[in-house]
Structure 1
Amino acid sequence: MKPIQERNPVPIAVIGLVLVLVLGLLAYRADDLPVIGGGTTYTAHFTEAAGLNTSSEVRVAGVKVGKVTGVRLDRGRVKVSFRVKDVWIGNASTVAISIQTLLGDKYLAVAPLGSAAQNPRQTIPTNRTRAPYDVTQAFGDLGRTFGQLDTAKVAQSLQVISATFRDTPPDVRKALDGMTALSRTISSRDDRLARLLAGSDRLTGTLASQNTEYEALLKDGNLLLEELRLRREAIHRLLVASRELSRHLVGLVRDNEAQLAPTLTALDRVAKVLQDNQRNLDKALAIAGPYYRLVGNTLGNGRWTDAYLCGLVPKEYLKPGTPPANGCMPPKVGGEG
């Protein structure tokens, strides 16, 4: 086989690009792969979508088990497709669109009910599904409707009605007078109500734009609480283990008190003897050091022993100047002697 350096780089580059594209496609569609992805896909009919989208979660008892894969219109109803994995869906299971956050995010809540498994090819009917009441949308519709009202004409209409029913009984007249006063109040505070609704609209938009930050904050808070819980459990286990260790040590001392008391008494006597003879021990160690040094020097030249004899021959048999000048002192290493 030829080395890569000697091959044509064009087909190698094409093959490399194809492999990169295939790997990217596999990573993008990882949820659909049979080993790391997969799952079972079900469909359900709803009367309205209520803000559900294809990236919404599917939960069972609050635990994420899948995600929504499709939301489309089907003959006047909303058909939602969702895929779940490792969870049982019964033939009487109910599916509800629930509110996930205060900013309007939704998720699909599944209650696994029934005595038999749900057939994935059969769509869950609307009598087993439920859509939430969207408060945000209701307030938005109210604001738009109120902004389109002509408060002046409403007040004029109420005044005409009040004049028409002027000769009615006192109870009806009081009710109409109250309606007239209400219309005048609404008309006089039209600008303030408009500013209030505009401010509410801006607040809703700001909260919606910060949805990702709020989610990250809540997730980080959950991680912090989980870590604190784990640390609390670790400290609790440490305290329990320390208490058990102290209990066992107390039991050990109690069980061996009869044997430990004589031993400690004997150790005390030995320590007293050593303390009384500390001066003699120091002197012995001071003398033993040079002695063992000389023994080491004597035996450190191989398989024989060095010796130094002084005074063996009488001085009168020696030549003048040959006896050692310092008496019988051994010669120093490297010096004369």
Structure 2
Amino acid sequence: MKKTLVKSLLFTLVTVLATVTLAGVIRNSASGPSRTYHALFSDATSLNKGDDVRMAGVKVGTVTGISLKDNQVADVSFTVAKDAPMTRGTTAELRFRNLVGQRYVDIHPADSPGPTLPAGYTFSLSQTKPALDLTLLFNGFQPLFQFLDPKDVNTLSGEIIAVFQGEGPTVNDLLSSTASLTSTLADRDQVIGELITNLNNVLGVVDDHSDQLDTTLVTLQQLVSGLAQDRSTIGDTIDGLGKLTSSVADLLGDSRKPLKQDIASLGKLSGNLSDGDTFDSFLKTLPTKLDAIGRTASYGSWLNFYLCSIQGKIPLPEGYMGDLGANPVATRCS
């Protein structure tokens, strides 16, 4: 009986604590003493009474009201816990709270300590920053959407609607991927910064040589225009080159067989010259013979030399062995 009573009391206590915590979350309010401040925003769309006021990601207050001031800016009143550092130099910014579009006021403390801002202080437009304008963002993608097929746009819209119609796992995967991407970009912030710096240097060099770049572009345009005007001549030239290539190919095909025969005959001649001692003997005795003939011919005119005829065959590209030579015309050659 006693154990049952203790279990019941513990269950009741846990239930009451859970109910109080849930009520606090639903009520969306900060406990403890607070101070009220005002902030002027150029755009406070989707910000509602009861939204969070956060500092470094921790809730420190609640939006208490939104009104129009001077028909130009939104005057947002909110509370901030007394122990929150609200010093001179603090700024306020509107940020997205979730994918549904809810927003909250994010307080950025001053970098250096200063005097505390009194209750009722109003942040001017120079001290506030509105949330990201999604309309302006989507308008930036408008040129891309113009190149998309309407059917593809409808399919993409249907998939986005399906994601936000209760497919929790898909949304969780999307958020996990986004968080992973954000972490990766944060880890590569130095590399990204160096890339932007180098890109800025490149753009600076390009800007310094803008005159040369303009001249290059103008010259390139003139070159392209000249090529366009001579496109007929260029086309005829390419066609002529094609015909020339075909002719050369045919010529090489026709001369291949005679050239093959000449190479084979040259091989036989080389074999004949390399085999036997006849050629070697001829070369060895040739100087002696020429010397004897020269001495004989140098005394008187009783020994004369005449070239009466030359006969030979010269291969032609067509493969015909033409007979060429000189016939004797002098009486002494008859």
Which category of TM-score, normalised to the shorter sequence, fits these structures? 0.3 to 0.5
Higher strand share: 2
TM-score by length of 2: 0.35
TM-score by length of 1: 0.35
